[in-house]
Amino acid sequence: YSDFSITVLGLDSIEARSYINALACSFLEYDSDDKPRDETIKPLVDGGTEGFEGHARVIIPGVTPCFECTIWLFPPQVKFPLCTLAETPRTAAHCIEYAHLIKWDEVHSGETFDPDDPEHMKWIYNEAVKRAELFGIPGFTYSLTQGAVKNIIPAIASTNAIVSAACALEALKITTGCSKTLSNYLTYTFA
């Protein structure tokens, strides 16, 4: 990465973004006035989508706020209280998480759940369907189970195209200097 002049991110996790951000910040060297030396600044163009929403932004380490400085912009991950999962499930997601987080360990003590193993996923699906039927919760599909367990949010092609175009434009502006880069955060929401 130190050989790159710019890095464009299209990552699917906060952990991966944090890692690349830390890497880019680690390249910074400062002059005697405590200003970043231009040749050590490796700009990041970060883009991401989640369903009908997306974002693009430029991070210039040592100049603009870095990823860690703006991590609060990301919505918190959805977590359900275990008491809801165990006692009063109200949604299909509650039943899936019950099978995944509670039932799996009860039945398969010591065996690690592998979300990429079709047999494991089928077991979670079957257990979740049983629980949903017990509590009268409709709307179950195998793909819903996979999405909930793997925390998959469907990608929308048009949102991906808009955000990737914004990222490509920002990378072009940085590399050529043809225009001022995005000075803030571009948020796209299809309403």
Q: Does 167 participate in catalysis according to the annotation?
A: no
Termini Cα distance of the chain: 37
- Residue 162 CA neighbour count, 13 Å, CB half: 17
Strand order in the sheet with 53-59: 7-9, 44-50, 53-59, 185-189
CA torsion sign, 144 to 147 to 152 to 157?
negative
Helix (H, G, I), strand (E, B) or coil at 59: strand
What is the distance between the alpha carbons of residues 68 and 22, in angstroms, rounded to a whole number? 8
Structure tokens at 119: 């047999």
What is the distance between the alpha carbons of residues 174 and 183, in angstroms, rounded to a whole number? 12
Annotated catalytic residue within 83, 95, 167, 178:
83
Q: What length is written for the chain?
A: 191
DSSP-assigned letter for residue 101: I
Query: Would you name the residues annotated as active-site residues?
Result: 83
